Homo-oligomer: A and B are copies of this chain.
Amino acid sequence: MPRILVIDDEPQIRKFMRISLVANGYEVIEAENGAQGIEAARSQVPDLLILDLGLPDLDGQEVISAVREDSDVPIIILSVRAQELDKVEALDRGANDYVVKPFGVAELMARVRAVLRPRAVKGSDEVVKTGDVCIDLARRVVTRGGEDLHLSKKEWELLEFFARSPDYVLTHKEILKAVWGPAHTDDTAYLRVYVNQLRQKLEVDPAQPLLLVTEPGVGYRLKRRD
């Protein structure tokens, strides 16, 4: 949940921004002038700063420079001034984007996502947990009771396919097509062998599977349990 610092002197704009940002799943901090904003940027460590250039106490451009003195936090500028000179100055002082008022909420939210994205790519862990097994799709790691499990390439590819659709029944054909390719949609022998190998490694009692269960005549299913 990224934390966003909004610096704007008009209360209704702050309110409007807060509502929009919270609705998009962000945590919001507010500051009503430049000095407060600089202080908050330092002490609260936000993930993003949205700054209105028209502030009562300080020039907005000065605020950018002040924040950049000791932080690389992304900055999106809001401003009524559309002159090129203002944009260039703000961007060169370290702002990452410059949006001219009035603007659409959807666009601003998209720009927020865009500017937060680089860290979101690898930071968003896709982890599927079931029983004492934990499947980390991004890192390509499986742990059981905290300890790393070693899976072969095919074993992982199969488990990954299950983990991307937990609790869904996957047919033999679907699985074979995804893991072994469309030329092997009838080689159910592969499945029998590899499902068994996975069970040996994942299940408490491989003969009485609780996680990777058979759907007779149809396929298999990875059950989510806690």
Residues of A within 8 A of B (CB): 47, 72, 74, 84-85, 87-88, 91-92, 94-97, 104, 106-107, 109-111, 113-115, 117-123, 138-141, 152-153, 156, 165, 167-169, 215-218, 221
Contact = CB atoms under 8 A, between A and B. Distances in A.
Number of copies: 2
Contacts of A110: 87-88, 91-92
Contacts of A109: 88
Contacts of A84: 104, 106-107
A216 B153 contact: yes
Going nearest first, the 6 A-B pairs with the smallest beta carbon separation are: A153-B217, A72-B120, A140-B169, A91-B110, A88-B110, A84-B104
A30 to B, nearest CB: 22
Contacts of A169: 139-141
Nearest to A123: B123
B72 A88 contact: no
Contacts of A97: 97, 114
Given A88-B106, A107-B88, A96 B120 contact: no
